[in-house]
A = this chain, B = another copy of it.
Amino acid sequence: MQISSLPLGYNHPALLKVLNDPANLSTLVNRPALGNLPPADFPLRVQNSLIAVAPKGLTNVKTMACGSCSNENAYKAIFMWYMTKQRGGAPPSPEELETCMYNKSPGAPDLTLMSFTGAFHGRTLGCLATTHSKAIHKLDIPSLDWPIAPFPQLKYPLEEHEAENRAEERRCLDQVHALFREYTSAGRPVCGVVVEPVQAEGGDNHASPEFFRELRAITKEYGAAFLVDEVQTGVGVTGSWWAHDLWQLDDPPDIVTFAKKMLGGGYFHTEEFRANSGYRIFNTWLGEPSKLAMCEAVVKTVQEENLLENVRQAGSVLLDGLKHLQTKYPTQLENARGLGTFIAIDCKGGDAHRNKILTDLKRKGIQSGGCGERTIRCRPALIFQPHHAEMVVNAMDEVLAEQA
């Protein structure tokens, strides 16, 4: 599914209809500079696409074009929010305005953003400073000294290792506290924490809703922003539109970023995170209206065809099937885990074993992919149905039997 970026698979009629509609031709051919000259129908488009699925508590949205510019600009919004709070309503000083032009403090202050080991948030320099999934992404690129907390390494199935997992999450949260204190006392305030609901590129690493709820509370305690990166977990794949819906937070996140299956990028945010003047969060295109037109069709299709329920059903068939296979082939597979159809399983024989299974699956007509060191991940579109899940499980059974 093109790195998890196709919401409705190939050539979905609802999307073909958008592209074939003569009324949309002008939107397709005349890409505007949205920040300066938004077309007349832009507010309605945003309303019918992005705002229609806004996470609870987040009433604002900023459009972007991909996951990287979504996260980059969300980070910038956090730094601006933090400094605006620091100034308590005062305008920036002449010294700040002057020094920032030369990348120097106080105008370009030494602020930091916390991320987690194993995280992936993109590959532009700001995003890359918070990405820690594979060396090949980062090698040779200068970076920023920002705090990196350990992400819990849980034992699966989660329900059989509750006590150990709780201790592991405690260890990680203690480190989050420690890093807040360490960086702040070094005069390098931690303005926010960015986290994925499931670490996707990093190997489908899960944590409990309690972990995320406490993380949210910690960011409040230190006056930092809580940014949830839903670029890969968003748009229904976990059975909820947003994966963080499952945490049942009392306080919503401050910012939620999206891209991939939304067909364009951007971030939702609370009122507080609006830039306090024009042109602070800005670029030439700021996304693209034609992508919003397609996103609108996705949102409608998911609702009309009840696809979240479909994802929950197909996911349950797939996860049960994989759990059955790991019992049947205990020397080959372990750690089947997932939410909705966002499912993964580890190969005991490491990288080579994993890649052999992926190749053999492809020979049987099943396209899948890897993440982390030795993980097979399932990232079907939202139209993947229970009987498709059965086909995957059966094909995998055959592949594993051949290896056994």
* A341 in contact (CB, < 8 A): no
Q: Is the CB of A97 within 8 A of B135?
A: yes
Question: Given known contacts A140-B83, A145-B103, is B69 in contact with A68 (CB within 8 Å)?
Answer: yes
Contact with A142, one of B68, B73, B112 (Cβ below 8 angstroms):
B112
Looking at A222-230, A274-282, A306-314, A349-357, the stretch in contact with chain B turns out to be A274-282
Q: How far is the CA of A79 from the CA of B139 in the complex (A)?
A: 9
Q: Is the CB of B142 within 8 A of A100?
A: no
Contacts of A10 in B (CB 8 A): 29-30
* A66 in contact (CB, < 8 A): yes
Q: Is the CB of B66 within 8 A of A101?
A: no
* A5 in contact (CB, < 8 A): yes
Question: Given known contacts A69-B66, A140-B79, A283-B122, is B28 in contact with A5 (CB within 8 Å)?
Answer: no
Contact with A126, one of B107, B117, B124, B284 (Cβ below 8 angstroms):
B124
Contact with A123, one of B67, B140, B145, B282 (Cβ below 8 angstroms):
B282
Q: Is the CB of B33 within 8 A of A11?
A: no
Contacts of A33 in B (CB 8 A): 2-3, 5
Q: How far is the CA of A37 from the CA of B146 in the complex (A)?
A: 34
Chain B's nearest CB lies how many Å from the CB of A26? Answer: 7
Question: Given known contacts A65-B66, A140-B79, is B285 in contact with A5 (CB within 8 Å)?
Answer: yes
Question: Which residues in chain A, 15-65, are within 8 Å of chain B measured between CB atoms?
Answer: 15-16, 19-20, 25-26, 28-33, 36-37, 65
Q: Is the CB of B142 within 8 A of A110?
A: yes
Q: Is the CB of B101 within 8 A of A135?
A: yes
Chain B's nearest CB lies how many Å from the CB of A32? Answer: 5
Contacts of A25 in B (CB 8 A): 16, 19-20
5 contacts between A and B (CB under 8 A): A2-B31, A65-B65, A76-B141, A103-B129, A123-B282
Binding site for B on A (CB under 8 A): 2-3, 5-6, 10-12, 15-16, 19-20, 25-26, 28-33, 36-37, 65-69, 72-73, 75-76, 79-80, 82-84, 92, 96-98, 100-104, 107-112, 117, 122-127, 129, 132, 134-146, 148, 259-260, 263, 277, 279-280, 282-285
